[in-house]
Each structure stands twice: as structure tokens, then as C-alpha cells.
Amino acid sequence: MGLWTFLAVVTAALTAVLPDGRWAQVLDDLDAARNAAYVNSEPARLEQVYTPGSPELAADRQVLAAYAARGLRVDRVSLQLLRVQVLQEKPDGVRLRVVDVLRPVRVRTDDGGWRDLPRDEPTVRTIALRLTPGGWRIARIRRVAG
């Protein structure tokens, strides 16, 4: 196999796996807002990520409160999107099948030291997004068995 053929095969394989397009960007933007909420210990920022009343909003608020109660500050909480597939799309909502992995997370303890949290493996999820007056928000996330 020649170099150009090899590069074409590798490029095609990466293009098939790497997420692109509108919904990957929407998810990246929501992930950046979630990261800011965690890094700054500001649960109110999560309202820029989730619809009111979503179970994920309540769960993230609980995690932030638990970190604060233990005196932990998060360095970064972000997901790497590996694949995004549209399952259903409407003008005011979309359902996506996503494969993502949590990037390494470190927390700063009260004594100023850093501690790495356990690493994650790629996870398949369905994510329901809803269009709100403030933009796209996550309404529901469900882990896909497997």
C-alpha cells in the first residue's frame, strides 16, 4: 500500500469516527458550560446546560454540593465526543446517540494538593435536547446498555 492510499484510508476511518456537525458543537458548548459550573463551583451555571427539572440537573447539583462539602475544587470536567448520531430531529428537540468518554479529572483538596479521580471508559448514551428561550439544553440522558 502506498503512502497516499494509507493516508486516504486513515482519513476515511477518522472521519467516520470523529463527531462533526451542528449537534457535536451544541454538545461541546453545553459541556463547556458544565465545566465552568464545576471549575467555579457555581451550581447556578448548570441552568445553562439542563432544562429545568431534569434529573441530570439535580444530579450535577448534588455532586457539586458534595465536592464543596468535602472542600474539593475541580480542575476540569469535560467529555470527549467520539461519535454523535441523530436518532430523531424536530424543530424544538433532538434525540442523539452519543459515544463519549470523560477526560481525566483532578480535584484540589483543602491542603492544596491534587488528586486524580478514577478514569472513565467510553460510554454510549442517548441524549434528548430541547430548544429553550436560552438555547439548546439537555432534557434527559440515558445510558445505553452494553
The enclosing domain of 91 has a CATH number of 3.10.450.50
Q: Which of 24, 46, 25 is nearest to 35 (CA)?
A: 46
CA distances from 11 to 3, 17, 84, 98, 141 (A): 12, 10, 18, 21, 31
Residues in the chain: 146
| Region for residue 21 given its phi and psi (left: phi exceeds 0; alpha: psi -120 to 50; beta: otherwise) | left
Amino acid 114: pLDDT: 85
pTM above 0.85, yes or no: no
23 within 8 A of 109, measured Cβ to Cβ: no
**In the structure, what pLDDT confidence band is assigned to residue 11 with cuts at 50, 70 and 90?**
very low
Q: Is the pLDDT of residue 139 over 90?
A: yes
State which of 31-40, 103-112, 114-123 shows the largest mean pLDDT.
31-40
Q: Is the pLDDT of residue 4 over 60?
A: no
pLDDT digits (tens, 9 = 90+) for 122-137: 999 999 999 999 999 9
The DSSP string of 32-100 is HHHHHHHHTT-GGGGGGTB-TT-HHHHHHHHHHHHHHHTT-EES---EEEEEEEEEEEETTEEEEEEEE
Q: Is the pLDDT of residue 104 over 90?
A: no
Q: How many domains does the chain have?
A: 1
Q: Is the pLDDT of residue 14 over 70?
A: no
Q: Give the full edge-to-edge strand order of the sheet including 106-108.
A: 73-74, 106-108, 114-116
pLDDT digits (tens, 9 = 90+) for 58-96: 999 999 999 889 888 888 888 999 999 999 999 999 999
| Lowest mean pLDDT, pick from 12-21, 33-42, 111-120 | 12-21
Q: Is the pLDDT of residue 142 over 70?
A: yes
Q: Is the pLDDT of residue 9 over 50?
A: no
Amino acid 19: pLDDT: 53
Burial of 6 (0-12, 13-18, 19+ CB in 10 A): exposed
| Domain extent at residue 87 | 3-143
| Amino acid sitting at position 68 | A
